Amino acid sequence: MMSRFMFSTAACAAVTLSLALLPSSAFAQSYPTKPIRLVVPFAPGGGMVGADLVAKSAPDGYILGVATVSTMATIPATTAKMPYDVLKDFTPNISLVNVPNVITVNPTKVPVKDMREFIALLKKNPGKFSYASSGSGGISHLDGELFKLLTGTFMVHIPYRGSGPALNDTIAGQVDAQLDNLPSSLPHIQGGKLKALAVMAEKRVASLPDVPTFAEVGLKAANNMAWYGIVAPAGLPPAIGQRIHDAAVKALNDPDSRKRFAENGSTVDGGSAQDFEKKIRAELALRKDIVVKQNIKLEQ
């Protein structure tokens, strides 16, 4: 199973390698001169800790962080006392990859043919069915709440400590449905252990050609892809930031990397630092809106 951790690590390892392989220049002689530490936060709780470590590090380019929807948007939107400020404590560098999420059901417990039947079933049985998430405050939690908001349905939220345990229990039938990143769920969908009802993607995924996007089933507002990017502590010198950005673009253009992303329905981004900052701000606003409308309050 390919977890979010493995997926983001693969992308970021390529970035670090690319940094080491860049040709020397006058500036390059001063950076990097030692190994770069790349913090990969995983699961909602660990995500906050990892992001906070990056936020409180020296802005010298030797500690970088993987930014996710959870660390930059969902956790800040659901947590009253944050140890870091998303908009002040980081220097956004580059959005690396956009990753589809997917809603799946256990086909034995929820024998529906498509999204229409699933929504109808939920409306007839409010509170009878449950959905698993990677943890309270994570992207799958708020994606589930957005789904409920848009469809006028109610499922019981069952939070886990990571997407792996949530996925296992959905397959085992302990939970009825799950919202997860596609790379983790894909093998189980293809193996018939899970039934995919819709994917959050710009277009249908080649590996699941019969599964519609959320936009196609009338839920365009939920058709939001997850993403991974690179951030540094606030105050990173622009010259170092540009070097990191250039290295990331070089890594993203590697044919093998692009092929691997495409197989999972992911798309390479690689836009400017300014574009990434706008993406973070928009995602944070979206998640805060969901929290307000669904009256989500987590224990702090």
Residue 17 pLDDT exceeds 60:
no
Task: State the pLDDT at residue 41.
Answer: 83
Query: What is the Rg, in whole angstroms, of the alpha carbon atoms belonging to the chain?
Result: 19
- CATH number of the domain where residue 64 is located: 3.40.190.150
Tens of pLDDT, residue by residue over 197-253, are 999 998 999 899 999 999 999 999 999 999 999 999 999 999 999 999 999 998 888
In the Cβ-directed half-sphere of 93, how many Cα atoms lie within 13 Å? 33
Q: For the whole model, what pTM was predicted?
A: 0.86
Q: What angle do CA 208, 210, 216 make, to 5 degrees?
A: 105
Task: State the pLDDT at residue 105.
Answer: 98
Task: State the pLDDT at residue 180.
Answer: 92
- Tell me the mean pLDDT in the region 249-263: 86
Tokens of 109: 């417990």
Q: 183 and 235 share a domain?
A: no
Q: Number of structural domains, the chain?
A: 2
User: H helices of the chain, where?
Assistant: 4-21, 44-55, 69, 75-78, 115-124, 139-151, 163-172, 182-190, 238-252, 255-263, 273-294
Q: 253 and 273 share a domain?
A: yes
pLDDT band for position 4 (cuts 50, 70, 90): very low
Q: 77 and 24 share a domain?
A: yes
Among the candidates 222, 255, 279, a domain finishes at 222
Q: 25 and 92 share a domain?
A: yes
Q: Across all residues in the chain, what is the average pLDDT?
A: 88
Q: 45 and 66 share a domain?
A: yes
Tokens of 278: 């706008």
Tens of pLDDT, residue by residue over 138-196, are 899 999 999 999 999 999 999 998 889 999 999 999 999 999 999 899 999 999 999 99
Helix axes 182-190, 4-21, angle to 10 degrees: 130
- Tell me the mean pLDDT in the region 48-61: 95
Task: Say what percent of the chain tops pLDDT 70.
Answer: 88
Among the candidates 222, 246, 277, a domain finishes at 222
Q: 94 and 229 share a domain?
A: yes
Q: 212 and 285 share a domain?
A: no
Instruction: Evaluate whether residue 249 is within a structural domain.
Output: yes
Q: 187 and 199 share a domain?
A: yes
Residue 97 pLDDT exceeds 70:
yes
- CATH number of the domain where residue 198 is located: 3.40.190.10
Residue 2 pLDDT exceeds 80:
no
Distance separating alpha carbons of residues 232 and 219, to the nearest angstrom: 34
Specify the 3-state DSSP secondary structure of 179. Answer: strand
Specify the 3-state DSSP secondary structure of 233. Answer: strand
Q: 9 and 69 share a domain?
A: yes
Q: 174 and 264 share a domain?
A: no
Place of tokens 């909602």: 44
Instruction: Evaluate whether residue 66 is within a structural domain.
Output: yes
Q: 88 and 112 share a domain?
A: no
Instruction: Evaluate whether residue 300 is within a structural domain.
Output: no
Task: State the pLDDT at residue 271.
Answer: 94
Instruction: Evaluate whether residue 288 is within a structural domain.
Output: yes
